[in-house]
Structure 1
Amino acid sequence: MSAEPILKWAGGKRQLLSRLLPLVPEYTGKYIEPFVGGGAMFFALVPENAVISDCNEELINLYKTVKKSPEDVISRLQKYKNTERDFYKIRAKDWHELEKEDAAARMIYLNKTCFNGLYRVNRSGEFNTSYGKNPDAIFCDPERIRAAAKVLKKKKVLCSDYRKVLKKYAEPGDFIFLDPPYFQITEKETFLRYTKDRFYEPDQIELAGIVNELYDKGCSVMITNSNHEMIYDLYKRFDIQVVKVNRCVNCKADGRKGEDAIITAFH
């Protein structure tokens, strides 16, 4: 069984899968991904036993609802229209006040019809990306949603801080994939905010400490981050590869090139 991500996600790992998948080690435990985002790695691997989570409540509502009621989400999506008027009308709604199925459909619709598929919220946690003006955007893909629902079935899907998830579920033999908010190379990268909270340098240092603890515990861990100078100090025990990437969410061509670091802490 294979599936594609339901959403286009800023910083998503679809373009890196050809580099990431060959590195995945053999493991005897479960798969854990506590910064799941768009879930490119999860949907590509289709692990039998998995725990996925994110601190983005709206995103986790989407995954839980698609897992439980894919046809209800599809039926609601089919009622939408890709027009600027409809987009802003739907964007103005507070997803917390909607039924779970309507909230899930709203998130998919906005993601597929907004500018560059950029999920972004302001400091109040409100989605604020503008209309994409793409009349050919496909926002309802029933087969993709059904395939995702099958992969999500029987998987543990949580809305939680990554630290709590790892403390409760990580065990020796597990494979843990970590794709945290990246070290900022420039201040311009603030537009990538996908929750109202930011991930600062002390958070990166704390994460690296947890990775070291997980490795010592007997877990195999893979981390992605920007090719920032601090990475080499924080993860000096482990192997680090640097790969070229495109930052497709940047509207300027000279801002679309970058480098990612792939850190592997394997036994």
Structure 2
Amino acid sequence: MKILVISDIHSNYRALKATLDTFDNVDEVWCLGDIVEYGPRPSDCINLVRQNCQQVVVGNHDLYFSKCLPQSNYGWTGWYPNNTATSDLDYISSLPSLLTLNRDGISYGLVHGSPANHLTGKLHPYAETIENIKNLNNSKQDRILAGHTHMAMQIEIDGKLVANPGTIGQPRDGDYRAQCMVIDNGYIQHHRVEYDLDLLAQDYYCSGMDINQANLWLNYTRNGIVEVHGPQIGPFSSVNPV
């Protein structure tokens, strides 16, 4: 079985569409949450996810968006509710925070953050969160797939494999291209996908979002703002441009 795993779309329709078009030969698509916020086309991204993703878990920004959690005071606070169908909010509110699946004899746990903190837990191979990975031994799944950090990685510690597909819509490693992960009969590969930044800019400026917020988030996405972390522990998997 061939599975495309995506996460942290953040209303970037152009990046999502390019990724789905590139990997249109997969058997399933799994989404690890944060479909919305930051970007200009939330409803279009929700619709693409509903049409293409067989398995979806909810992210923290999804719940801010649907007002199931208190919302951060960003520029989209007043804009998104006026540009969102009730059916979109109902869909977001219905998503589970954790899924357990079995494919090709391998058990997977799908979560946005971490098994201990489904929405905002962090799993990445850096010193400040490495204990979160070491504490996964009580998990019954062979593999944990998590998003939230916007950082693609694959690491095995104490016999537990943890993988993050990175982010479709808002990379934070200096490279704007969409990140995703393909599992092919159990073998994991990470990829980057090109998309048209000029079209993304058009989406922002035609969205009705406050112009200052539009410029802020467009530049953030375009430049792939780099987050600073402590020492890295464990290897990243190979990342393949497509």
TM-score (norm 1): 0.28
Higher strand share: 2
Q: Is the helix fraction higher in 1 or 2? A: 1
- Scaled by the length of structure 2, the TM-score of the pair is 0.30
Larger radius of gyration: 1
